[in-house]
Amino acid sequence: MKGKALYLRVGMLVVAGAILAAGFVIFLAGGRGQGPLTVFETYSRESVQGLDVGAPVRYRGVQIGRVTEIRLASTEYQRAAGVAFTEAFQLVLIRFAIDSAQIGEVPRTAEAVQLGLRARIAAQGITGVNYVELDFVPHPERFPPLAFPWTPRFPVIPSIPSTVAQVRGAAEQLVERLSQIPLEQIAQDLSTLVASLSRQSTDGDLAATLRETALTMARVRGVLESGEIERTIAEFRRTAEAAQGVASAPELRRALSSAASAADELRRSAERLPGTLQTFERTMRTARETTTDVQADLVPILQDLRATTASLRATADALRASPSQFLLGAPPPPPDRRR
């Protein structure tokens, strides 16, 4: 009986261990039996140290899946003959399963990637354990999807560098820029500048300026001590009081009042000026019309006067040429003989 009880206990332990092992495998595979699983893959340029199979996949802190596979991309997608060993074959392949029941209704993968869905490796506290974090980045054009010389077996979610990698990259760029700064040349220029300033302060223009400044300050101090400033201020005060007395004099008030009256009269004259100009314009228009009528009447008179003058001139010429004929000549022939 004791032997059978022992066998029974051992069998129960074996069955329980098998059940626990199966549950652990399912747990590591990324599913918890809550819904169908969808497998995705992403590629990382950086080290995946601290990320293991079974690590959680989170979306803004909410666990939605598990990492199912981590391997080099060159072992999963072998390079064909004639294909160059590009950067794509140097990446690390990360596959993970997402529980559909944990994410609800979401857009298609291509649309989500276009909207900025990206994956990155994030650290979990200070334990050194990493996990995969999914999130929508504000500027997805900074991290465009990669072009692969193979056809991925599962939908691809592009990756972005982790925070540690970004800080490390920024630090490396800063160190590189600092290494390009000519520190020796700057130190030499500073030494030359200090030497030049030393010479200028000893016997150069700077020294002369300092001496002139000291002399000017001494003169100003002497003027202040002599009381000249106080006398000048008192004189200025007396001048201001005299000006105030002139301003308050009755003559000045009357002059200002007269100026104001003259200004008002000038303003009234200016207001009457447009009417005067209009009257003058009408007078000029009437004179112009009258001149036009007189000129029209004088034209026929001048023409008749011009014809009379021509006749008198012809008569004078005939009288001058033959005065006797003009005085003793025969009468003109009868009208019938003129024919």
Has residue 332 got a pLDDT over 70?
Answer: no
Phi, psi of 231 (to 5 degrees): -65, -40
Q: Which residues contact 204 (CB under 8 A, 6 or more apart)?
A: none
- Asked if 208 and 271 sit in the same domain, the reply is no
pLDDT of residue 30: 44
Q: Tell me: the pLDDT tens digits for 29-61?
A: 444 445 688 999 999 988 888 899 999 999 988
CA 214 to chain centre: 49
Q: In this structure, is residue 5 part of a structural domain?
A: no
Handedness of CA 225, 226, 232, 237 (dihedral sign): positive
268 and 241 together in one domain: no
Residues paired with 56 in a beta bridge:
66
Say if residue 263's pLDDT is above 90: no
User: Is residue 159 located within the same domain as residue 61?
Assistant: yes
Residues 82 and 207 placed together within one structural domain of the fold: no
- Do 240 and 283 share a domain, yes or no? no
Q: Is residue 316 part of a domain?
A: no
The total number of structural domains that make up the chain: 3
- Give tens-digit pLDDT for 135-157: 999 888 888 888 888 889 999 99
Q: Is residue 315 part of a domain?
A: no
8 domain residue, yes or no: no
Using one digit for the tens of pLDDT, what is the confidence trace for 220-243? 777 777 777 777 787 878 888 877
The more confident residue out of 26 and 180 is 180
Proportion of the chain above pLDDT 90, given as a percent: 16
Report the alpha-carbon distance of residue 324 to residue 53 in Å, rounded: 157
By DSSP bridging, strand 129-136 and strand 92-99 are: unpaired
Q: Select from 60, 144, 61, 132 the least CA-distant residue to 96.
A: 132
Q: Which amino acid is at 316?
A: A
pTM of the full predicted structure? 0.45
Sheet holding 62-72, edge to edge: 37-44, 92-99, 62-72, 56-59, 129-136, 117-124
Above 90 in pLDDT, residue 279? no
- For the chain, the first-to-last Cα distance in angstroms comes to 192
Confidence of residue 158 (pLDDT cuts 50, 70, 90): very high
Residues 240 and 268 in one domain: no
**For all residues of the chain together, what is the average pLDDT?**
79
Tell me: pLDDT of 1 over 70.
Answer: no
Top mean-pLDDT range of 9-23, 67-81, 226-240: 67-81
**Which residue bears the tokens 């700064």?**
181
Average pLDDT over residues 182-191: 82
Domain that holds residue 234: 200-248
Q: Does pLDDT of 334 surpass 50? A: yes
Contact 106, 113 (CB under 8 A): no
pLDDT in the model for residue 95: 95
Q: Determine the Cα–Cα distance for residues 325 and 53; give it in Å rounded to an integer.
A: 156
Tell whether 186 is covered by a domain. Answer: no
Comparison of pLDDT for 123 and 15, the residue scoring more: 123
* 135 lies in some domain: yes
Residues 132 and 225 in one domain: no
Greater pLDDT, 185 or 72: 72
269 and 154 co-located in one domain:
no
The answer to whether residue 190 sits within a structural domain is no
Three-state SS at 108: coil
- In 3D space, the residue among 9, 87, 15 whose CA is nearest the CA of residue 44 turns out to be 87
pLDDT in tens, 300-325: 777 777 878 877 777 777 767 766 65
- Same-domain status, 223 and 161: no
In a domain, 89, yes or no: yes
- Domain match, 125 and 82 both: yes
* Gap between the Cα atoms of 82 and 245, Å rounded: 107
Residues 289, 216 share a domain: no
Residue 267 has pLDDT above 60, yes or no: yes
Residue found by looking up tokens 């939908």 in the block? 155
Instruction: Verify that 77 and 166 share a domain, yes or no.
Output: yes
Read off the pLDDT of residues 77-127 as tens digits, 9 standing for 90 and up: 888 777 777 888 889 999 999 998 888 777 888 899 999 999 999 988 766
- Distance (Å, whole) CA 321 – CA 181: 122
